[in-house]
Amino acid sequence: MHARPAKPVRWAAKFLWLVITAIVVAAFWSVRIKWSSLAEFPAEFSKYLGLLFGPPDWSKFGEAFDATILSVQMAWIGTVLGIIISFPLSFLASRGLAPSVLNWPLRALFAVIRAVPEVVIAILILSVTGLTPFTGALALAIGSIGTLGKWGYEAFEGVDGGPLEGVRATGGGTLALIRWGVWPSAQPEVFSFWLYRFEINVRASAILGLIGAGGIGKMLQDNVQFRNWDAVGMLLLVVIVVTMIIDQISGTVRNRLIHGVWEVPLLRSYRRRMSMRRERMEP
């Protein structure tokens, strides 16, 4: 009877987990969390929920709605500008569609942009544009270039090779390769990326308002500063409802682009749960 071979010891994996554990422990230690305050959190949370929504200040509905729409407009302008700039750059960053002398610098540029938060970008351009909603839109546009550029060249490089070979076999050049080989296959995915980035920008626009760019964040900062909690509650209600509506519309369009079916995400989740429930009930 042969002896069972000894289980190999993966020292590299063990060392990596040890390093990760040490980093996590050091992070908790340096933050100096007051664990005793966690016991007070439920009571404090309930208290502020009552201040926010018991009841919210409905007289602030118009102001909250206008601030929310301003943030959505900032997100829309930033997304459109980001698309216009990042779309051609994505082709230039794609291997096989442009020389490598262009690929790597553009990929590095996208990585640098993604590494800088939109708030930092907005602060850097404040001296040029001032504290206006346009500052927030420009910051969102620059941030969008980094993510949309990366998603774009990854989508272009991931298309099926069959159409590309067909275009090359007929003697097509780079423009023909992009028009007939790459774009038809990547189009649904790229469009869904654009919509998803718009959703991200809607949320990011609220943060930009905290530095004075206007919109949701500006109104939130003003009312929190003066402890107008009922007005903050009204703003949160409007923000939640408008954001959920945008998410559902965007998700429906993305589902149509990718799967070819018009279906609201909430309804899709509901149908999936009902289907799983029926399957469990069947004998």
CATH of the domain at 152: 1.10.3720.10
Confidence label for 148 from pLDDT (cuts 50, 70 and 90):
very high
Q: In sequence order, what are the beta bridge partners of 98?
A: 95
Residue 7 in domain: no
Say if CB 228 and CB 235 are below 8 A apart.
no
* pLDDT tens readout for residues 239-253: 889 888 888 888 888
* pLDDT tens readout for residues 13-50: 888 889 999 888 887 777 777 777 777 878 888 888 88
Per-residue pLDDT at 234 exceeds 60: yes
Residue 261 in domain: yes
Residue 27 in domain: no
d(CA 61, CA 71): 15
Residue with the bigger pLDDT between 6 and 65: it is 65
Of 105, 93, 91, the C-alpha closest to 174 is: 91
Residue 251 in domain: yes
Percent of residues, the chain, with pLDDT higher than 70: 87
d(CA 281, CA 283): 6
Per-residue pLDDT at 1 exceeds 60: no
Instruction: Kindly tell me the burial class for residue 227, based on how many C-beta atoms sit within 10 Å of its own C-beta (0-12, 13-18, 19 or more).
Output: exposed
Distances (CA, A) of 160 to 89, 155, 168, 175, 229: 21, 10, 14, 17, 54
Residue 31 in domain: no
Total count of domains within the chain: 1
Confidence label for 65 from pLDDT (cuts 50, 70 and 90):
very high
Kindly tell me the sign of the dihedral angle through the C-alpha atoms of 162, 165, 171, 177.
positive
Residue 50 in domain: no
Residue 118 in domain: yes
Residue 107 in domain: yes
How high does pLDDT run on average in the chain? 84
* pLDDT tens readout for residues 167-195: 888 887 888 888 888 888 888 889 989 99
- Residue ranges making up the domain that contains 166: 56-281
Owner of token pair 């050049």: 173
Per-residue pLDDT at 4 exceeds 70: no
Three-state secondary structure call for residue 283: coil
* pLDDT tens readout for residues 66-119: 989 999 999 999 999 999 999 999 999 998 888 889 999 999 999 999 999 988
Say if CB 185 and CB 159 are below 8 A apart.
yes
